[in-house]
Structure formats: C-alpha cells, structure tokens
Structure 1
C-alpha cells in the first residue's frame, strides 16, 4: 500500500475572514490616502497664487512686490526668532495686517487691493519697509466707473465722526489724569487711572489702528522692539503699563506719559482729518474682532502686565455696537435678514464677557481659564463673520 502524503489542513474559517478583512482595510486605507492626497492637491491648486514673503530678523524677502488689482493672497513665513506682524499700508493707513506670526510658522493675509502703490512693514518696527505695487486690471477699471452713489451712507459716516470726536476727547482726558498721577508719583492712583485710559483707547482702536505710525507710538507692545522692554524706543501705553504693574514704579515715566498725552491729542486730530470709506466702517470692526479671536483672547498678551484684557474686549464691543446702531436703518431696509444673526452674535459675546465680572468689575485675565478664553475667541469670531456679510449685502466696497 502506497504511502500518501498528508494533505495540508485548510486554514480555519476565522483566519480566512481575518485575512480578507485585512485586505479590505488596506484597500480602504489606500483609498483614503488617495482621497486625502487629492484633497491636499486641490487645496494647493486653490492657493497656487499665494505670494510667499519670508520675514528674517532684519528684512523681508522679497521686499518689493507687484500684483494685479483685486484679491491677493500673501503667505507670510516667519524665519525670525520672535512673533512678528506684517502690514500693508496706504500712506499712514493700514489696509490689511496679520499680527503675532509665531517663529517658524506662516499665516495667510487676504487683501482686496485697489490699483496704486503701498508700503509693507516687515517684523520689527526698526526694519526697512518694502513696497507693493498694484497694477490696474480691466475689472478694476470697470468697477471704478460703475461705483454707485454713497449718499445713503453720509449719515452713518457723519455720526461716526461725532463718535470719534467724543471718544477722542474722553481719551485725552483720561490720559491727562493718568499723566498727573504719574507726575505726582502716586503709584496706586496711576494704576487705577490706567484702566479707564485703556478702555478709552480701545473704543477708538478699530479706527486708530489704521494710522500705523501713530498707533505704534501709542500702542506697540515690547515684542516689536529689538531689545523688548529695555529698548529706548519702547513707549506709549504698554511702556507705562510695564512700569506700573511689573516694576511697580513711576520712576522715569513722566516724559513717557507726557509724550503719550501729546500722541493721543494728535490721534484725535488725525482721526477727524482722515476720510473713512464706507466699506471700512465695517471692515475695521471685523479686523479688530478677528485680532481678538485669533490672537488676543487666547494669549492675553495685549495687557500682559496689568491683566485688564477683558476691559479692552468690552470696549471693542462698545464701538462695534455703536457702528451697528448707525448702520441698522440701512440694514433694516436693504439687508434685514442679516440683523438676527448679527444681533445674536453680539449678544452672545456681551454675555460671555459679562459672565466674567466679579462685583461688577472684570476679573483679571490671568485667572480666566483656557476654556473661557476659547469661548471668548469663538464668540468674537462668530461676530466678525456675521459683520463681514454687511459689505457684500450693501455693496459698500463699490461706493465712492
């Protein structure tokens, strides 16, 4: 009888199913990888017109740009060793900016640019400025010829000028009181008076931040100076804040406070001298709220020595509410569907800030939790998005 070799045992059914399942998983994973790679490629294609600008310690590369009129995207890459900002300036006015770009990271600035020549800032305030030349296009020429009348916006713009005048006067008065306390070397009084002075400034901040040079003199943080707090050029509110709350001293502050008083007086004059295009009545608020949402709420860097950030956020909301009230009749007539969303977002942010009051005073920001800060940021972003719908709804960018 012949010996038959034993037949190999067939694998158990569970093992066969496991192998089949592994194959299916591998195929699915491959499909997901392909989808993700295609999605990433699509995103790169959408952003293929991004203009890369690299910020080094003391310069930008490139530092001279030319783009066609219309929407332009700039990817700002920070190769320096500190957080920096990049701005597009039209004379002394800020057209668009991105703050707090962390070392080694990049952020995108999207700007809708009219034909003309602009300046660009590059990191530290002492760094040389670059140039941005925007060439006209057929579309920009057609838009310039087809712009509608702005008669309907004369009222809101005029009322906003009255508001700027009133708040500018309040700022001058508050800084004068702060100056007197510093001259008297009264630390406790100076600390107390710093708060209303900052609140007064923050009600003007969306408009004043258009005036790049002057606003830097008034409000630049130590980060934007080469030697930070020890830099001789470091002045304005935050130099005073550093002395009062970090060093707890008024020594040497008198000339700085006097210069601040001069600068805020000039600020009021320049705010009233500058014309404000209709689209910027809303866009300055959106930019300010985006700054709150993207940077200031999470970091607490704006008032890092005094921790009165919430007072500033509430003051920013005050001016937002004022502009919305001025625009409400126009919105009711031409874009009433926007109002419920805007009002809801404004109320939500207001409630979030009011919930952080103790004995009718805002709590110090260093005691605000990360989750609470995120809630503030999310609600500020929601309000910015809601307000951003006003321009296309009313055609603000097409007015002259």
Structure 2
C-alpha cells in the first residue's frame, strides 16, 4: 500500500541503499528536449522545467535536492495516477518514462512520502492521441488488462472465505485464510492504486497511514484484530462485510483502468518498491508476519508485466532483458529458501517473517535491489525506436 509504509528514518536508509545498488544517482536527462521535464524536488518545493510538452512519451528527469525521501507523481486532474516513482532518496536522481494523451495533468512531489504533495499543473499538447505504438505493445496491454481482471475476479472467493471466518467468529480459520485472500491484490496493486484514494486506502491502509479522522478499514485493520487483539467483535464483522463491498468495487472498475506499456513497466518497478519498503522491512504485515506471501505475489505481478513487454524490450535492449531474466530467477531462488519445512507443493507456504533474521533480510533486500535497478529501465526500453 503506497500511503505511509515506513518511518522516515527507515525510508532514508532504504532509499540510500537503493541509490547505491540501483544507480539512482545516475545523471538524468538534463540535456533537455521537448519530451523531457526536469523535476527538482526539495522539502518544500516541486519545480518543473516546463509546463507544457507534447503528448506521447514524456520523460521526468527527477532530482531530489531535499533532506527527505520523496515520491513524484503524474496525476490526472481527478487525482488518478498516470505514473509514479517512490523512494527517491536525498541527493539522488531518477528517470521515469510515461505515456500521456493531450490534456491537463499535475506533477506532484511528496517529501517524506506523505500527504497530497507539492503540485504543479502541466499540459500535454497535441491532438489528444499518443504516438503510434508497436502492435505487439497493444497486445501486451490487452493481455495485461485481462490478467488484472482475472486477479480481481479470483480474489473474491478467498476473500469471502476469509470474511466468512471473521463473521463466524472463527479466529484460527480467519488467520489461515488471511494471506491467501491478498495474493491477487498484491500482484496487481499499482493498478488499484491508479484510482487514487477511491479504493486502495479502503482495503489496504495501515494504521500509520491514516489521515485526520479517517476511519481505518480493510485487511490490515482485521489483521490487527486477529493477531494482536485476538478478538472478533461486532465491529470486525461489519468491517469484513465492508472489505467485500470495497473489493467488489475494485473488481468492477479494474477493467476500466488506464493502462499503457509504460504504466505496466513502471508498475512492475513499483511492485519491487513495495517489497523493498514494506515486505523486506516487515512493516506491511506487522501483526501476521505473512510478508513473504505478499513478497512472492509482488514479484509475480512484476514478472507478468515484464514477460508481456519482453519481446519488444528484447529487440530494443537485449542486454537489459538478459539481466532481468537473471535477476528474476535469482530472486525466485532466494525466496525458495524460506518455504515452510522446505515445502514445494504450495508456492505460498512460507515461514513466518519474524523468524527471518537481520542477515537474511539484508540478503533479501539485496536481491530486490539487484532486480529493481534494471527493472527501472524497462519503460524506456519499450519505447526506444
């Protein structure tokens, strides 16, 4: 969940590690060009080099000159997300490639990864369409749209099993059903997040991400009740019904999400950021310690997007594809070490994450970072001519 996933101190340490391993300090595209927008983020400013650019592929060359880890977004006027890049550490640079149609947008920087951000209104100019796309990429988008719909459809039955156990007051059955109910969501979370605050905060918010008098609902509210409070009361049973209502909204809307080849590629990177800032740290599933299940699902979702884009990326950047294949395989092998009792029959049968020591967590973090670096280049690879 993209709200507040970690403390600022942890975020700075994580982002510094990402910068060191992933090359986030590489020079941005400061040479300019009609399609390059230089974004300079500080703790109290979000400066852009131009307010207008041609519709099509736009490149954000981001530099964080502040003291806090930041996020940068391109948003539709209604706050739906076009693309985002999280965990941009102080003193580092990142480049993000996105596809935009003609129209008005907002570029937002979020120092400390909190709040609505510091915003600049920008405009993509043109006739309302983007540049002609490789037909293989249109097929990739269509296949990915089908995949995310399947994941939403397939999430409802295990979610209903979970919520039924909650409503029955069966604590142990609810605990058992909790992690499996989240797999489809974790595989496709960037698509759900693209709807802005309409769905994601309702179902996947952690307590430290609450704003003002916002009511805490969703999986993690129930997670706390099951593992920490060890009780199921009337409120929890009502929240179980609300979770299904919200997941059905996601199911009904996911097929209408804005999806482009670059949003698929950037979404794959976002899933790795989810792992780096939530799962590896143990903060996502802080009560249930089922982080490795989420970890596996995040990586699977990232690989699905990559596999669909791979034919074009391989033609444009063969060395990048070779590295991505290597790092995906290495991370899968690493995850296999943490299966419960060496289990191979259930790919989600992992040990409790509180049993994973600091040294092993560091190894997992290194594996994630080794994949995140080349994955951050995938969006640019699929638009290279």
TM range (shorter): 0.7 to 0.9
Give the corresponding residue for 1:23: none
Residue 337 (structure 1) shift: 3.6
User: Paired residue for 1:51, among 31, 37, 40?
Assistant: 40
SS in 1 for 2:284: coil
Q: How many residues align structurally?
A: 334
Residue 232 (structure 1) shift: 5.6
Contact 2:340 2:350 in 1 (8 A): yes
SS in 1 for 2:188: helix
Q: Does 1:73 align with 2:55?
A: no
Contact 1:300 1:307 in 2 (8 A): yes
**CA shift in 2, pair 1:239/1:84, >3 Å:** farther
Give the corresponding residue for 1:327: 309
User: Paired residue for 1:254, among 237, 243, 253?
Assistant: 237
Gaps of 5+ in 2: 1-26, 31-37, 54-58, 344-348
**CA shift in 2, pair 1:300/1:184, >3 Å:** same
Of structures 1 and 2, the one with the larger relative CO (CA 8 A, separation 6+) is: 2
Which is worse superposed, 212-221 or 231-240?
231-240
RMSD (CA atoms): 3.7
Gaps of 5+ in 1: 1-42, 55-60
Q: Does 1:240 align with 2:222?
A: yes
**CA shift in 2, pair 1:324/1:119, >3 Å:** closer
Contact 2:156 2:247 in 1 (8 A): yes
Separation (CA, whole Å) in 2 of partners of 1:110 and 1:393? 12
Residue 315 (structure 1) shift: 0.7
**CA shift in 2, pair 1:224/1:78, >3 Å:** farther
**CA shift in 2, pair 1:345/1:128, >3 Å:** closer
SS in 2 for 1:253: helix
Q: Does 1:312 align with 2:301?
A: no
Give the corresponding residue for 2:171: 187
Give the corresponding residue for 1:155: 139
Separation (CA, whole Å) in 1 of partners of 2:371 and 2:47? 35
SS in 1 for 2:84: strand
Residue 291 (structure 1) shift: 3.4
TM-score by length of 1: 0.71
**CA shift in 2, pair 1:149/1:120, >3 Å:** closer
Larger radius of gyration: 1
Give the corresponding residue for 2:268: 285
User: Paired residue for 1:302, among 269, 284, 303?
Assistant: 284
Separation (CA, whole Å) in 2 of partners of 1:126 and 1:338? 33
**CA shift in 2, pair 1:236/1:381, >3 Å:** same
User: Paired residue for 2:352, among 334, 358, 364?
Assistant: 364
SS in 2 for 1:275: coil
Q: 1:159-216: CA deviations, max 9, x gaps?
A: 1122112111111112111111111111111111101012222112232222221112
Separation (CA, whole Å) in 1 of partners of 2:61 and 2:149? 34
Q: Does 1:346 align with 2:331?
A: no
Separation (CA, whole Å) in 2 of partners of 1:328 and 1:111? 18
Which is worse superposed, 213-222 or 323-332?
323-332
Residue 66 (structure 1) shift: 8.2
Separation (CA, whole Å) in 2 of partners of 1:307 and 1:376? 15
**CA shift in 2, pair 1:283/1:62, >3 Å:** closer
Structure with the bigger percentage of helix = 1
User: Paired residue for 1:207, among 191, 196, 200?
Assistant: 191
Q: Does 1:225 align with 2:210?
A: yes
Give the corresponding residue for 2:366: 378
**CA shift in 2, pair 1:156/1:171, >3 Å:** same
Contact 1:88 1:96 in 2 (8 A): yes
User: Paired residue for 2:154, among 170, 174, 191?
Assistant: 170
Contact 2:149 2:255 in 1 (8 A): yes
Separation (CA, whole Å) in 2 of partners of 1:194 and 1:310? 13
TM-score by length of 2: 0.74
Q: Does 1:388 align with 2:372?
A: no
Give the corresponding residue for 1:264: 247
